[in-house]
Amino acid sequence: MQKTSTKTLYEYWNAIRGARSAPDRKDIDPTRIREALANTFILELDESEKFSFRLAGSHLCTSYCRELKGRSFSALWHERDTDAMETLLRAVTEDHAVALVTFQGTTALHTKVTFETILMPLRHNGSTHTRLLGAMTALDEPYWLGVQPIMEQRITGLRLIWPDDVSFEDSAREVETKVVNDFGYANAGAPSAMPAVVYGRSARRYAHLAVIDGGRQ
């Protein structure tokens, strides 16, 4: 986690959930996360079974040069990343993992900026399937950010973390994933996870993502 807003929101989420896999929506006190609030968002499952923005902070809306409330989160991602993002969202909502994602946003003028995003499960009416808590922050803020809207975004890396296993620093069940550009895409009829070898290590394929199980080196 590179950005203060990401760390602040994760630490707050982890504190208020206690022994639960996820905190309840009503447990969130915006005054406790003032430093991260402008980059924070809440997603909800919409009628099309996709996630859309229920709430979005001011800095986040500024990056896209538009109000994000009610807009589709799923539609932001490049079509080649759709399957990977859906797999990631299921890991958060169903397995109660925390997802840390980096992606590159591109404008209509082909200028680029890298963002860090965190996604965490949130309980609503007893279920973790319909709400997500997250933050999205630019790693650097070029002068044009907020003037040129982000039009396309591609995943450049992600990590899934299970906070209950061990402490964050010593977690041995992290799943680190990186985009491997020279891999072909899986056929539509292929299984969601396919075996592969990446840099001499066995891995599983999710679309064009290679997932390597194991702890940090």
Q: Please tell me whether residue 42 adopts helix, strand or coil conformation.
A: strand
Give phi and psi for 72, each to the nearest 5. Answer: -75, 130
Q: Give the CATH number, domain containing residue 20.
A: 3.30.450.20
pLDDT tens for 134-174 read 999 999 888 888 899 898 899 999 888 887 764 444 333 33
* pLDDT higher than 70, residue 203: no
Total number of domains constituting the chain: 1
Model confidence at 202, in pLDDT bands (50, 70, 90)?
low
Query: Could you say which DSSP state residue 99 is in?
Result: E
- pLDDT band at residue 204 under the 50/70/90 scheme: low
Report the C-alpha gap between 184 and 216 in whole angstroms.
27
DSSP 24: B
In a domain, 170, yes or no: no
- Rounded Cα distance between 48 and 103, Å, is 25
Q: Would you state the pLDDT for residue 15?
A: 93
Q: What are phi and psi of 127, to 5 degrees?
A: -120, 150
Whole-prediction pTM: 0.76
Number of H helices, E strands in the chain: 3, 10
pLDDT band at residue 176 under the 50/70/90 scheme: very low
Please name the residues in contact with 122: beta carbons below 8 A apart, sequence gap of 6 or more. Answer: 22, 23, 24, 25, 42, 128, 131, 132, 133
With a CB cutoff of 8 Å and minimum separation 6, the contacts of 55 are: 40, 41, 42, 69
pLDDT at 177: 44
Q: What is the pLDDT of residues 64-100, one digit of tens each?
A: 999 999 999 988 999 889 888 988 999 999 999 999 9
Domain annotation covers residue 204: no
Q: Dump pLDDT digits (tens) for 8-66.
A: 999 999 999 988 999 999 999 999 998 899 999 999 998 888 999 999 999 989 989 99
What pLDDT, on a 0 to 100 scale, did the predictor assign at position 164?
75
pLDDT value for 3: 86
Domain that holds residue 72: 4-164
Q: Is 188 part of a structural domain of the chain? A: no
Residue 192 maps to a domain: no
Tokens representing 183?
């891999």
In a domain, 98, yes or no: yes
In a domain, 148, yes or no: yes
d(C-alpha 50, C-alpha 96), whole Å: 18
pLDDT, tens digit, 9 for 90 and up, residues 97-134: 999 999 999 998 999 999 999 999 999 988 889 899 99
Is 70 exceeded by the pLDDT of residue 4? yes
Q: Kindly provide the residue ranges of all beta strands, DSSP E only, lying in 46-179, ordered along the sequence.
A: 51-56, 98-107, 112-124, 127-138, 150-161, 175-179
Query: Within a domain: residue 155?
Result: yes
196 lies in a domain?
no
Residues 6+ apart with CB under 8 A from 190: none
